[in-house]
Amino acid sequence: MFGSTFAGRPVRIADQLDSLKFVTNYDNIAPKLLFHLSIFLLPNVPFDPNYTALIFYQFQKDGTPTSEFRLLGGLNEAKQSAIFKINSGISDSTTNQPTIQSNEGDIDMDTTDMDNSSVNSTSSMSLVIGISIEPNNIALPQLEQLKLQHTQKALPAPIKPEGKLSTADIPLTKDQIESISGKIINNAYNFLSSFVDDNNNVSISKFDLWWSRFKVKMANDPSFLDNLT
C-alpha cells in the first residue's frame, strides 16, 4: 500500500505487519547524508477517506533504537504523497551535530539523544519508517499538534525595546495572578469540555493540543491573556 525512497536508494514497498500497520527498513545509511525522504500511496490502491496513515521514524544503531518512534507526518486520500526534509548534512562546528530544519512538513531530527559518534557521515545506521493507519478523529489532532509544534519553533524570539520596561519586569499582585489563572483554567475547561467521553473523561492528547494552541496564541498576540474572559 505504501512506497518510499530517498536519494540514492531504489523505491521500497512497505512490509505489512497487520491490516493497519506497515514498516520499511533502510539499512547501512549515514544520517548526515540523508536529505529528502519521499513517501506515497501506491497507485490504484483504494484508501478509506475516514482514515489517515500516520508516519513515524526511528534511527537504530546495531539493532538498538537511538530514540523512540517520532511522528513525521501523515497521508490520506486527499494527500497521497509527501516529501520530508530529513537532514541538511551541515555539521555544527561546536557540537558536531547536524543542523536540523524544522519548517512545517519537515522531519525534525533531534539528534541530541544520540552519541556523537553515531551520527557522523561515515556511521552506518538503520532508518525505520513505521506507518499506522488510524481513524481521522485520532490521527488528525496528532497532525495538528505536530504542525503547531513546528510553527512554535519557527516563531522568532520577542525583542524588548531598549530602555523600555516590559510587563514581564513588573511583579504581579495576588489578585492579578488569581485573575490570570482563572482565565487560563476557564479557557482550558471550555476547550476540553467538548471532548468529554461517556465516562466523563478527556484524553490527555486533547490537553496537549489545547496547550500547544494556547502557547502559539500567546506568542502571536501579546494581549491574548488580557482579552480572555
The 10 Å CB-count burial string (b at 16+, else e) for 113-125 is: ebeeebbeeebeb
In a shared domain, residues 16 and 117: yes
- pLDDT tens, position by position, 5-33: 887 788 999 999 999 999 999 888 776 66
217 in a structural domain: yes
- Identify the residue whose cell numbers are 519557527: 154
- pLDDT tens, position by position, 101-159: 333 344 433 333 334 334 444 457 888 999 999 999 999 999 998 888 777 766 666 65
- pLDDT tens, position by position, 47-76: 999 999 999 988 888 888 887 888 889 999
Nearest-angstrom CA–CA distance, 106 and 111: 15
Question: What pLDDT, on the 0 to 100 scale, is given for residue 185?
Answer: 82
In a shared domain, residues 126 and 204: no
Compare 132 and 228 and report the one with higher pLDDT.
Answer: 132
Average pLDDT over residues 66-89: 81
57 in a structural domain: yes
Total number of domains constituting the chain: 2
In a shared domain, residues 77 and 120: yes
Task: For residue 46, give its domain range.
Answer: 2-135
Count of C-beta atoms within a 10 Å radius of residue 112: 11
In a shared domain, residues 91 and 28: yes
Question: What pLDDT, on the 0 to 100 scale, is given for residue 77?
Answer: 92
